Amino acid sequence: MTIGTTTTMHINDAPSKPFLVTLPSPDERKEKYTQVSQVSNAADSSGKGKKRFQFLISFCAALVGMQAGITLGWSSPILPYLTSEESFLLKLSENQISWISSLLALGAIAGAVPAGKFADWIGRKWAITLTVVPFVTCWLTLITTRNLISIYVARFVGGIGAGAACVLVPVYIGEIAHASIRGALGAFFPLLFSSGILFSYVAGAYCSYLIFNIACCAVLVPFVLGAPFMPESPMWLMQRGREDEAVKVLTILRGSRYDIVGEITVLQDDVNRIAKATGGIKDLVGTKAGRRAAVTCVGLMFFQQLCGVDAVLFYTVNIFQAADSTIDPFLATIVIGLTEVVMTIFVATVIDRFGRKPLLVISGAFMTICLAILGYYFKFKDEGSDVSAFGWVPLTSLAFFNIVFSIGYGSVPFTVISEIFSPETKGVASSISIMTHWSLVFAVTKLFPLMEYQIGQAATFWTFSCFTATSVAFVYFVVPETKGKTLQEIQKKLERKKESNIKYPVEPA
**Cα 42 from Cα 38, distance rounded (Å):** 6
User: For residues 62 and 169, is the Cβ–Cβ distance under 8 A?
Assistant: yes
The predicted pLDDT at position 433 comes to 79
Which 3 state secondary structure label does DSSP give 219? coil
Distance, CA of 200 to chain centre: 17
**Cα 481 from Cα 504, distance rounded (Å):** 9
List, run by run, the mean pLDDT of 10-residue segments along the chain (509 residues): 38 42 48 47 43 89 94 89 89 86 90 85 92 97 95 96 90 82 79 90 92 96 94 88 86 77 79 69 75 88 88 70 71 80 76 80 94 89 80 81 84 78 72 82 84 86 94 91 71 64 42
The predicted pLDDT at position 3 comes to 39
User: For residues 156 and 104, is the Cβ–Cβ distance under 8 A?
Assistant: yes
Sign of CA dihedral 505, 475, 270, 272: positive
**Cα 297 from Cα 432, distance rounded (Å):** 9
User: For residues 392 and 327, is the Cβ–Cβ distance under 8 A?
Assistant: yes
Q: What is the DSSP letter of 22?
A: P
The predicted pLDDT at position 223 comes to 95
User: For residues 296 and 356, is the Cβ–Cβ distance under 8 A?
Assistant: no
The predicted pLDDT at position 66 comes to 94
**Cα 172 from Cα 170, distance rounded (Å):** 5
DSSP alpha helix (H) spans, 323-425: 329-354, 356-382, 393-407, 412-420
The predicted pLDDT at position 158 comes to 96
Pick the closest to residue 418 from 337, 351, 343 (CA basis).
351
Chain segment 177-219, per-residue pLDDT in tens:
877 777 778 778 888 988 998 899 899 989 999 999 999 999 9
* Run of H or E residues at 100: helix 94-122
* Run of H or E residues at 162: helix 148-176
**Cα 171 from Cα 109, distance rounded (Å):** 17
Pick the closest to residue 175 from 278, 240, 111, 253 (CA basis).
253
Q: Which domains does the chain have, with CATH numbers?
A: 26-495 (1.20.1250.20)
Chain segment 347-357, per-residue pLDDT in tens:
767 766 777 88
361: CB partners within 8 A, 6+ apart: 408, 472, 475, 476
The predicted pLDDT at position 136 comes to 97
